[in-house]
């Protein structure tokens, strides 16, 4: 494998970069909705008018006050959506606000702005966590905690450097790297950051690295990739398989859903393979290998891993350079590569850079067994006389307390040495009934007790799921999550919803759909990924706008079901599902179905979408 010698190329810059890291890591504290200050008309006033692009100051960076105004505006939209139970809309607005904050460069002299910035981030964190729990993106016992790590006093940044010994900021020596590691000013600043402001968290990350390093390294070697890539999770997730970011990336390697699916990582209500530390490492290796082969440069490959290959491809073309250090990118991506280099430098020589006391955790070790029924993890742990927490740690991909339904030969990890005993007690562990969920909008006069009776579930179960007390008052318009046991076939895809929050589940038996109240040909065509003309032709319907009535039976075999040729479309800035559907002569419903997208159809530049076409 090719080895890289250390390059010394000190860049003199007048502005010390700030390293703004947003990682939303699963914790253990419960999340509760909370009241927010009432704003005029529910939203803050903005001047000037909001646009999609940040205004820039004379220095070329986004105007600070305007950026904070925009972030507060989207945050307020998210709060309003949360109150109305519009979870996907709330999530989208919170993430937009956090994206804006991630690009802000707070100066040392703006104490008032720093306070406003930090207060806003903490408020977003709490509401964003509640939104994700409400959607089932996080398991009930989990919450998000955010950490914002910045230089507390930028004026004294030089003092931070001087406070370290010359040895702790010097060029690495006698260390061989398999990735191209440079030691310029940006890398040195990242090094100082990890040694000072970010030290507390980085100590934990280095220690936790011990659990997964050997396992991941073996997989990386299998793909003939540079071994130093094993240090990438230090800055992606802190080696936390449950990490979840504002960009909707999840797992130790921080995959977004669309990219994860392209590399074989499946997710649904029951499990999220992006959090599987084995499968996600294989996926990361495949993706990184693809990026390196595409750009022929590891710095550009890493930058693409952070912001998407489409973005880097456009910027290298527009800025007429393939030198990462010369590119002007979003701050998060500009900091990403030097931060990786700094993390790698420290990880390979902890003693020299002030982390000699860090002891690596014991490497994770496990047996793999196959499960052919729905089993409760707590009952498995009890039967094997092992810790439930250890079982959960070995299987972070499981979003609920049970193994996924309708998933034959599901591979479950057990502590090393437990496979034989599991085989012995397997039949004695009862099969569980998978739980689906309904979202109930409270009506005038309803109580928790009356709602529990209506759904035939326990009052305590509803209170526990919604993080409220049995005697808590509820108000009309409030949304509650209701656990509902499946009466027959278990659902493999996840929760069903009441009509108050989502459309009824659509069923077409034998290719025939029974029209329901409120249906139109356009709605039916959109649901089944076909066109109105195709429906009219298949059902011999005449006229320009033929009406359908509840009880009518329509043949719904859709043109969109043909999958003769598969293409991959990389989403570009400004594109929507509608514009992409038009480009490929298909429908939005088809693209949503092919890529398992939510009804909101939220996509961001860099997403990779599967497109099937008969052309």
Q: Taking a C-beta distance cutoff of 8 angstroms, is the pair 11, 325 a contact? A: yes
The rounded distance, in Å, linking the Cα atoms of 457 and 482 is 8
Check residue 330 and report its DSSP letter: -
> In terms of pLDDT, which residue wins out, 592 or 134?
592
Closest C-alpha among 330, 327, 302 to residue 315: 327
> In terms of pLDDT, which residue wins out, 486 or 406?
406
Collapsed DSSP state (helix, strand, coil) of residue 463: helix
Question: Is it true that the peptide bond before 181 is cis, omega within 30 degrees of 0?
Answer: no
The reply to whether 594 and 550 lie within a common domain is no
Could you say which of 406, 428, 450 is where a domain stops?
428
Task: Tell whether the model's pLDDT for residue 340 goes beyond 60.
Answer: yes
The reply to whether 471 and 519 lie within a common domain is no
The reply to whether 584 and 542 lie within a common domain is no
φ, ψ of residue 436 to 5 degrees: the values are -100, 175
Could you say which of 428, 447, 473 is where a domain stops?
428
For residues 335-350, give the mean pLDDT: 94
For residues 328-338, give the mean pLDDT: 90
Token pair of 303, please? 């930058």
The DSSP result for 464-475, as a single string, is: HHTT--TT----
Task: Tell whether the model's pLDDT for residue 592 goes beyond 90.
Answer: no
Check residue 252 and report its DSSP letter: T
Domain membership flag for residue 200: no
Check residue 305 and report its DSSP letter: H
Q: Taking a C-beta distance cutoff of 8 angstroms, is the pair 564, 614 a contact? A: yes
The reply to whether 386 and 419 lie within a common domain is yes
CA distances from 308 to 76, 230, 299, 390 (A): 29, 20, 13, 35
The rounded distance, in Å, linking the Cα atoms of 556 and 509 is 10
What was the pLDDT predicted at 425?
95
Q: Taking a C-beta distance cutoff of 8 angstroms, is the pair 247, 604 a contact? A: yes
Angle between helical axes of 298-307 and 331-347 (0-180°, round to 10): 120
Closest C-alpha among 542, 531, 538, 543 to residue 512: 538
Domain membership flag for residue 253: no
Check residue 517 and report its DSSP letter: T
The reply to whether 548 and 567 lie within a common domain is no
Task: Tell whether the model's pLDDT for residue 151 goes beyond 50.
Answer: no
Query: Sorting pLDDT into bands at 50, 70 and 90, what band is 213?
Result: very high
Q: Which helix (H) or strand (E) holds 316?
A: helix 309-318
The reply to whether 536 and 525 lie within a common domain is yes
Token pair of 561, please? 């079901």
Q: Which helix (H) or strand (E) holds 367?
A: strand 366-371
The rounded distance, in Å, linking the Cα atoms of 548 and 542 is 11
CA 118-121-126 angle, to 5 degrees, is: 130
Residue 554 is part of which domain span?
512-560
> In terms of pLDDT, which residue wins out, 38 or 13?
38
> In terms of pLDDT, which residue wins out, 96 or 16?
96
Task: Tell whether the model's pLDDT for residue 527 goes beyond 80.
Answer: no
3-class SS string, 22-82: CCEEECCCCCCCCCCCCCHHHCCCCCCCCCCCCCECCCCCECHHHHHHHHHHHHHHHHHHH
What was the pLDDT predicted at 473?
81
β partners of residue 368: 413
Collapsed DSSP state (helix, strand, coil) of residue 187: helix
Which residues lie closer than 8 Å to 538 by C-beta, 6 or more apart?
Answer: 554, 555, 556, 557
What was the pLDDT predicted at 452?
83
The reply to whether 568 and 539 lie within a common domain is no
For residues 119-147, give the mean pLDDT: 59
Query: Sorting pLDDT into bands at 50, 70 and 90, what band is 169?
Result: low
The reply to whether 550 and 567 lie within a common domain is no
Task: Tell whether the model's pLDDT for residue 150 goes beyond 90.
Answer: no
Q: Considering the chain, what percentage of its residues have pLDDT values greater than 70?
A: 71
The rounded distance, in Å, linking the Cα atoms of 480 and 439 is 6
What was the pLDDT predicted at 100?
82
CB pairs under 8 A, 24+ apart, for 118-121?
118/148, 120/68, 120/71, 120/72, 120/75, 121/146, 121/148
CB pairs under 8 A, 24+ apart, for 160-169?
160/192, 160/196, 160/197, 161/192, 163/196, 164/192, 164/195, 164/196, 164/354, 167/352, 168/195, 168/352, 168/353, 168/354
Could you say which of 428, 443, 462 is where a domain stops?
428
> In terms of pLDDT, which residue wins out, 441 or 300?
300
> In terms of pLDDT, which residue wins out, 577 or 237?
237
What was the pLDDT predicted at 515?
82
The reply to whether 392 and 411 lie within a common domain is yes
Domain membership flag for residue 28: no
Q: What CATH number is given to the structural domain containing 589?
A: 3.10.350.10
Query: Sorting pLDDT into bands at 50, 70 and 90, what band is 159?
Result: low
pLDDT, tens digit (0-9, with 9 covering 90-100), for 258-302: 899 999 999 877 889 999 999 999 999 999 999 999 999 999 999
The reply to whether 471 and 441 lie within a common domain is yes
For residues 541-570, give the mean pLDDT: 68
For residues 581-585, give the mean pLDDT: 82
> In terms of pLDDT, which residue wins out, 165 or 514?
514
What was the pLDDT predicted at 35?
37
Overall domain count for the chain: 4
Query: Sorting pLDDT into bands at 50, 70 and 90, what band is 574?
Result: confident
Domain membership flag for residue 540: yes
Average pLDDT, the chain: 75
Token pair of 440, please? 């109930």
Closest C-alpha among 549, 547, 508 to residue 527: 508
> In terms of pLDDT, which residue wins out, 13 or 107?
107
What was the pLDDT predicted at 16?
23
Domain membership flag for residue 521: yes
Q: Considering the chain, what percentage of its residues have pLDDT values greater than 90?
A: 33
Domain membership flag for residue 327: no
Task: Tell whether the model's pLDDT for residue 463 goes beyond 50.
Answer: yes
Token pair of 265, please? 């990582």
pLDDT, tens digit (0-9, with 9 covering 90-100), for 256-265: 988 999 999 9
Query: Sorting pLDDT into bands at 50, 70 and 90, what band is 149?
Result: very low
For residues 330-341, give the mean pLDDT: 91
Domain membership flag for residue 475: yes
Q: Taking a C-beta distance cutoff of 8 angstroms, is the pair 559, 503 a contact? A: no
Query: Sorting pLDDT into bands at 50, 70 and 90, what band is 559?
Result: very low
542, 543, 544, 547: CA torsion to nearest 10: -80
For residues 549-577, give the mean pLDDT: 68
Task: Tell whether the model's pLDDT for residue 313 goes beyond 70.
Answer: yes
Angle between helical axes of 199-222 and 279-295 (0-180°, round to 10): 80
Task: Tell whether the model's pLDDT for residue 319 goes beyond 90.
Answer: yes
For residues 139-165, give the mean pLDDT: 41
Query: Sorting pLDDT into bands at 50, 70 and 90, what band is 378?
Result: very high
Q: Which helix (H) or strand (E) holds 134?
A: helix 111-135
Domain membership flag for residue 335: no
The rounded distance, in Å, linking the Cα atoms of 66 and 56 is 9
Q: Which of 51-65, 165-179, 406-420 has the highest mean pLDDT?
A: 406-420
pLDDT, tens digit (0-9, with 9 covering 90-100), for 12-33: 222 222 223 333 222 333 333 3
The reply to whether 576 and 551 lie within a common domain is no
Pairing of strands 553-555, 512-514: antiparallel
């Amino acid at each position: 494998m090719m080895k890289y010698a250390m390059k010394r190329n000190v860049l003199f810059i007048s502005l010390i970069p700030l390293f703004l890291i947003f990682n939303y890591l699963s914790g253990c504290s419960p999340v509760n909705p909370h009241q927010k200050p009432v704003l005029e008309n529910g939203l803050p006033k903005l001047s000037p008018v909001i646009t999609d692009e940040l205004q820039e100051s004379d220095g070329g960076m986004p105007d600070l006050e305007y950026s904070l105004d925009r972030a507060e505006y989207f945050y307020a939209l998210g709060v309003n959506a949360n109150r109305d139970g519009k979870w996907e809309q709330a999530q989208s607005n919170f993430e937009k606000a956090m994206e804006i904050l991630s690009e802000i460069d707070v100066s040392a002299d703006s104490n008032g702005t720093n306070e406003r910035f930090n207060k806003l981030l903490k408020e977003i964190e709490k509401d964003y966590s509640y939104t994700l729990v409400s959607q089932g993106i996080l398991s009930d016992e989990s919450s998000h905690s955010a950490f914002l790590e910045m230089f507390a006093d930028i004026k004294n940044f030089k003092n931070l450097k001087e406070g370290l010994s010359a040895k702790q900021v010097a060029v690495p020596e006698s260390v061989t790297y398999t990735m191209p590691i440079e030691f310029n000013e940006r890398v040195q600043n990242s090094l100082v950051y990890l040694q000072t402001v970010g030290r507390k968290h980085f100590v934990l990350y280095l220690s936790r690295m011990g659990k997964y390093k050997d396992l991941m390294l073996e997989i990386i070697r299998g793909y003939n990739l540079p071994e130093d890539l094993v240090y990438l999770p230090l800055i992606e997730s802190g080696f936390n398989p449950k990490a979840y970011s504002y960009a909707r990336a999840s797992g130790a390697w921080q995959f977004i859903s669309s990219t994860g699916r392209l590399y074989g990582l499946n997710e649904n209500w029951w499990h999220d393979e992006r959090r599987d530390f084995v499968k996600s490492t294989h996926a990361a290796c495949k993706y990184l290998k693809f990026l390196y082969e595409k750009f022929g440069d590891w710095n550009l490959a890493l930058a693409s891993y952070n912001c998407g290959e489409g973005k880097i491809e456009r910027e290298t073309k527009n800025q007429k350079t393939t030198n990462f250090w010369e590119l002007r990118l979003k701050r998060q991506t500009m900091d990403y590569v030097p931060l990786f280099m700094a993390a790698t430098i420290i990880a390979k020589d902890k003693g020299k850079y002030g982390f000699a006391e860090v002891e690596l955790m014991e490497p994770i070790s496990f047996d793999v067994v196959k499960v052919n029924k729905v089993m409760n993890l707590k009952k498995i742990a009890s039967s094997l006389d092992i810790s439930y927490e250890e079982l959960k740690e070995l299987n972070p991909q499981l979003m609920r307390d049970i193994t996924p339904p309708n998933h034959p030969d599901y591979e479950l990890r057990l502590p090393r040495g437990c496979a034989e005993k599991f085989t012995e007690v397997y039949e004695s562990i009862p099969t569980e009934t998978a739980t689906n969920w309904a979202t109930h909008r409270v009506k005038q006069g309803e109580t928790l007790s009356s709602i529990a009776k209506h759904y035939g579930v326990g009052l305590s179960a509803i209170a526990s799921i919604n993080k409220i007390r049995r005697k808590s008052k509820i108000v009309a318009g409030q949304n509650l999550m209701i656990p509902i046991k499946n009466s027959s076939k278990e659902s493999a895809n996840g929760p069903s919803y009441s009509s108050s929050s989502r459309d009824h589940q659509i069923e077409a038996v034998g290719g025939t759909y029974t029209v329901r109240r409120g249906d139109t040909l356009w709605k039916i065509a959109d649901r089944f990924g076909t066109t109105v003309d195709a429906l009219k032709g298949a059902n011999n319907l005449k006229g320009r706008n033929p009406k359908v009535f509840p009880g009518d039976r329509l043949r719904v075999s859709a043109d969109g079901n043909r999958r003769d040729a598969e293409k991959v479309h990389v989403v570009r800035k400004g594109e929507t599902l509608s514009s992409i559907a038009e480009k490929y002569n298909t429908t939005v419903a088809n693209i949503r179905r092919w890529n398992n997208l939510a009804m909101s159809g939220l996509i961001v530049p860099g997403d990779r979408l599967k497109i099937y076409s008969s052309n």
